[in-house]
Amino acid sequence: MTVDRDQVLRTAAALLTRKATATMDEVARASGIGRATLHRHFAGRDALVKALEQLGIQEMETALDAARLDEGTAAEALRRLVGRIEPSAGLLAFLLTENQLFEGEVSDGWARIDARCSALFRRGQERGEFRIDLSHVWLTEALYGLISAGAWVTQDGRVATKDFQYMIVELLLGGAQRSVRT
């Protein structure tokens, strides 16, 4: 039997986004393969997480490309980005939490993603759309945090999935938008 590595990764991502503490045995069972087969593809949990990280980076970069960040206003681009990220939000939430274990290690892929998201917020600041008293770095981190929180509450069924984009964008923009005093 040939094992579809990509399918195993996607199954592992789906499981780990629901249960971050799942064991390799549970990942193997969910994938319909034996533990030994899983270990032939991923030597251990760290190797699996690294492969999931690459999948997450790929999915995030695809979402960034599809969101056309340079088109329209920064707020419009942010709305498109959150909408494009939604299908991968659970995986990104898992990776955000898991990456806390790799103190100080930032891969080139995450650095590229951070740079693109920060550039979006800088553009919004430069054009007077977003507050300038909050750094673009903070706004980027806040976006990641809200995506993670959105993934968790929709996954648990506490908030409707259809509200994912709205609740994240409205909360972030409500705090990031520059208010004009008259």
Pick the CATH number of 54-176 from 3.40.50.720, 1.10.357.10, 1.10.10.60, 3.40.50.300: 1.10.357.10
What 3-state class would DSSP assign to 24? helix
Is the pLDDT score of 106 beyond 90?
A: no
DSSP annotation of 61 reads H
Whole-number Å distance between alpha carbons of 116 and 110: 10
Bridge partners for 123 per DSSP: none
Task: Name the one residue in this structure whose structure tokens are 């996954």.
Answer: 155
pTM of the model: 0.84
User: In percent, how much of the chain has pLDDT > 90?
Assistant: 60
DSSP annotation of 178 reads P
Whole-number Å distance between alpha carbons of 73 and 62: 20
Q: What is the residue extent of each domain of the chain?
A: 1-43, 54-176
Q: Which two three-digit tokens encode residue 5?
A: 């590595």
Q: Do the Cβ atoms of 130 and 176 come closer than 8 Å?
A: yes
Q: Which two three-digit tokens encode residue 137?
A: 């770095």
Q: Do the Cβ atoms of 85 and 93 come closer than 8 Å?
A: no
pLDDT digits (tens, 9 = 90+) for 45-86: 889 988 999 999 999 999 999 999 999 999 999 999 999 999
Of 1-5, 30-34, 71-75, which range is least confident? 1-5
Whole-number Å distance between alpha carbons of 80 and 43: 37
Q: Calculate mean pLDDT across residues 3-7.
A: 83
Question: Which pLDDT value is given to residue 181?
Answer: 62
DSSP annotation of 180 reads P
Is the four-CA dihedral 86, 90, 95, 98 of positive or negative sign? positive
Q: Which two three-digit tokens encode residue 22?
A: 């799942």
Question: Which pLDDT value is given to residue 164?
Answer: 93
Domain 1-43 has CATH 1.10.10: yes
CB hemisphere CA count around 153 (13 angstroms): 15
Task: Name the one residue in this structure whose structure tokens are 């806390």.
Answer: 100
Of 71-80, 96-105, 127-136, which range is least confident? 96-105
Question: Which pLDDT value is given to residue 179?
Answer: 64
Q: Calculate mean pLDDT across residues 84-95.
A: 89
Phi, psi dihedral angles at 143 (to 5 degrees): -60, -50
Q: Calculate mean pLDDT across residues 162-176.
A: 89
